[in-house]
Amino acid sequence: MTDVRLALTGFGNVGRGVAEILRQNGDRYFDAYGLRLVLTGVADRGGAAVSRAGLLPADLIAAKQEHGTVAGVAGGHAGLAGDAFLDAAGAQVLLEGASTNFTDAEPGWSYAQGALRRGMDVVLASKGALVLHFDELMQGARQGGRLVRYSATIGAPLPILEIADRALIGVRILELQGIVNATANQILSLMSEGATYEEGVLAAQEAGIAETDPTLDVDGWDAAAKAVILARALFGAPLALDDVERQGIRGISTPDLENAKQAGQTYKLIARVVRDGNSVRATVSPERRPHSDPLGRLRGQEMGVVFKTDLLGDVTTTVEGTGGPSTALTVLRDVVNLARERGWTS
């Protein structure tokens, strides 16, 4: 039995999801891997809760609900953040799940750096630091003998990195095609059933899966960020967000959808990362696909990727579940796989 002390930043869908899973199913990690996953610190915008003995997930969830911040737990610290939080938490692994941006990648970037400086391993659920500082992040980790994992950033819970790492061995990936943004796919699905773009966005917002400003999803920024991370992870290609040819779903009209339907097809927002001689290029754009296509058949919040390989042809994986719980599950699977690499599992 090994205790793994976790510091968690952000207590939105992902962070609260992690607490929910540990509360309801924490024993699964113990039973299967001999790991006791213990939250020793959680920070959100209002402050932080820390306990070397371990915070109770139920207390964190209640404090967030009642006080709007995890700092509302007994002994919580309003305003505690950054390096002071990391020092107080005394964790082995940082789970970085705070909201971020593609301008300065904060607060995730500082948290990740602070964790590596303290000899912690890092599991990322936020994309900013990966999109803006991939090389620096990985170099920092390598120099300190630390591990960085980020399965949750590229369309969780899709097993993209796991398949690439464990199954596409001896095989060259030529191209990756994917539906990696569930919100855009949900909106397109509604539109293909007759909704206008505006109605589709509204319905996605009411279902809690689209933000008030849906730009990141509908204009393809989120998918482009994932393409950048995948280009790094699978091809080692240093693409920037601006390198991705990006077209969102706003421009798709009712006649477009009608034409597609009559041809037995449907529009999907497809991210592609393509090896092209010695270079790698990435695109995000709507494409017409037949319903029997591995990606064309995905509806609602389903996501999927197709690896195009040289020796095995197409290898596909798709998932049904998306959103908070599944992203949190993906974060915790990174923790387990990291713990295996560290030899902590039994």
* Range list of H helices, the chain: 13-33, 57-67, 82-89, 108-117, 128-143, 160-166, 182-192, 197-206, 215-218, 221-235, 254-262, 324-342
The distance of closest approach from Cβ of residue 335 to its own copies in the complex, given in angstroms and rounded to an integer, is 9
**Considering beta carbons, is residue 12 or 321 the nearer one to its own copies?**
321
**Considering beta carbons, is residue 247 or 317 the nearer one to its own copies?**
317
The distance of closest approach from Cβ of residue 16 to its own copies in the complex, given in angstroms and rounded to an integer, is 15
In one-letter notation, the amino acid at residue 16 is R
**Considering beta carbons, is residue 1 or 169 the nearer one to its own copies?**
169
**Considering beta carbons, is residue 41 or 304 the nearer one to its own copies?**
304
**Considering beta carbons, is residue 236 or 255 the nearer one to its own copies?**
236
339: left (phi over 0), alpha (psi -120 to 50) or beta: alpha
**Considering beta carbons, is residue 152 or 190 the nearer one to its own copies?**
152
**Considering beta carbons, is residue 73 or 336 the nearer one to its own copies?**
336
Q: What secondary structure letter does DSSP report for 293?
A: S
| Contact by Cβ (8 Å): 141, 122 | yes
- In sequence order, the β-bridge partners of residue 308 are 175, 314
CA distances from 113 to 45, 102, 154, 237, 304 (A): 19, 17, 21, 22, 31
| Contact by Cβ (8 Å): 111, 41 | no
List contacts with its own copies (CB under 8 A): 21, 25, 28-29, 32-33, 151, 157, 159, 162-163, 165-167, 169-172, 291-294, 297, 304, 311-321, 325-326, 329, 332-333, 336-337
The distance of closest approach from Cβ of residue 117 to its own copies in the complex, given in angstroms and rounded to an integer, is 27
Burial class (CB in 10 A: 0-12, 13-18, 19+), 50: buried
**How many Å separate Cα 174 from the centre of its chain?**
23
Nearest to 306 by CA among 296, 298, 297, 294: 294
The distance of closest approach from Cβ of residue 87 to its own copies in the complex, given in angstroms and rounded to an integer, is 29
Q: Which structure tokens are listed for 117?
A: 């400086």
The distance of closest approach from Cβ of residue 260 to its own copies in the complex, given in angstroms and rounded to an integer, is 15
The distance of closest approach from Cβ of residue 22 to its own copies in the complex, given in angstroms and rounded to an integer, is 10
The distance of closest approach from Cβ of residue 321 to its own copies in the complex, given in angstroms and rounded to an integer, is 4
